[in-house]
Amino acid sequence: MERTSKLQLQKAFLLRTFNRGKRILMGRQGNDGIVFKLLVYALLISIGFVYLYPILYLVSQSFKSLSDLLDPTVLWLPQKLYLENFTQAWHVLDYMDTFWNSVLNSVVPAIGQTVSCAVVGYGIAKFHFPGKSIVLGLMMITFIVPSQVVMIPLYLMFNEYHMLGSSLPFIVPTIFAQGIKGVLFILIYTQFFRTIPASLEEAAQMDGAGFIRTFFTVILPISTPAIVVVLLFSTVWHWNETYLTSLYLGESMTTLPLQLKTFNDSFTKLYGGGAAVGGGQTKNINESIRMAGTLLIVLPLLILYMFAQRRFVEVVDKTGITGE
């Protein structure tokens, strides 16, 4: 009897130990234990490294001097921060003038799209009118049709209205909820506005507010996540657009991404491409100078995302809320 009771106590002890270890490793529900969290963190770190590796490489290379580039023992951390690369890249890009040209061709159209697409998206989400399905169908067609198909007709139209050589081909269409990816932004707004409870609009209308006042005083203030996402995406897509920019602007204006395409030639014209400068030394373009120029071009977008990333993540949760 005593031996049987001891075996039972040992089995019970082992069972409790096993269950306790299982709870610690796997958690009570199998998704909150140490092992599960380690797997999740390992997966997130692996995916994050894939996306962060180009940025880390860009930053590392841009601060290297020529001696660090030629030294096989210097991999990621340069022996010292060599800032001359950024100075040369700054002058080659003619940074400040070109930066404001880029702002004019990206931020201003993005603001236009953010406002106009919000109005159109609100109308589609909240109002019923004849031909609404036809309008949605035509919008989807314009989204599906490749931009190369309408590129020449648009060029001829802008040329006829004497808009080429300026930012007007990018700014004017955005006033009418068009432009780069305009249909996508309308759909984003439409989906977001459908999640807003109708009781908010009804309460505003009971207080005497019309549709326009309700939209600007009630709907827009609570639509900050969608506004931030549209503004961020529109800015990035307009900023990175090079083919349409070179087509519409020609030689009258340039942007930072366009300057990157001619970075080597601009460096050669400015520094002589190996000609003797300052005590017989020569300046030749190298990978670090190119990386410094690239970093200067993407830096405004990185700063913009740093300020907008909280709202950018928030819109994912907001679009999952069901309205009344």
Residue of 144, 242, 226, 135 whose CA lies nearest to 185: 226
Give the whole-angstrom CA distance, residue 202 versus residue 214: 9
Both tokens of 298, joined, read 């993407």
Distance CA 198, CA 323 (A): 7
Residues in the chain: 324
Residue extents of the structural domains in the chain: 2-84, 94-261
Kindly indicate the confidence band of residue 115, based on its pLDDT and cuts at 50, 70 and 90: very high
Transcribe 182-236 into DSSP letters.
HHHHHHHHHHHHHTS-HHHHHHHHHTT--HHHHIIIIIGGG-HHHHHHHHHHHHH
* Angle at which helices 182-194 and 224-240 cross, to 10°: 170
From start to end of 210-316, where are the E strands? 276-277, 281-282
Averaged pLDDT, 72-93: 84
Region of poorest pLDDT, from 74-83, 102-111, 116-125: 74-83
d(C-alpha 289, C-alpha 264), whole Å: 10
Residue 273 binned pLDDT confidence (cut-offs 50, 70, 90) = low
pLDDT above 90: residue 111 = yes
CATH class of 94-261: mainly alpha
Nearest Cα neighbor of 92 from 294, 242, 303 is: 294
Q: Residue for token digits 């002589």? A: 272
> Is the pLDDT confidence value at 140 over 60?
yes
Give residue-wise pLDDT tens across range 150-193: 888 888 999 998 888 888 999 999 998 888 888 889 988 988 88
Is the separation of the CB atoms in 256 and 107 below 8 Å?
A: no
pTM over 0.85: no
Please tell me the predicted confidence (pLDDT) of residue 14.
Answer: 62
CA dist., res. 204 & res. 198, Å (int): 10
pLDDT-wise least confident of 148-152, 274-278, 303-307: 274-278
| Residue 94: Cβ-neighbour burial (10 angstroms; 0-12, 13-18, 19+) | middle
pLDDT of residue 252: 81
pLDDT confidence of residue 323: 39
CB count within 10 Å of CB 281 equals 7
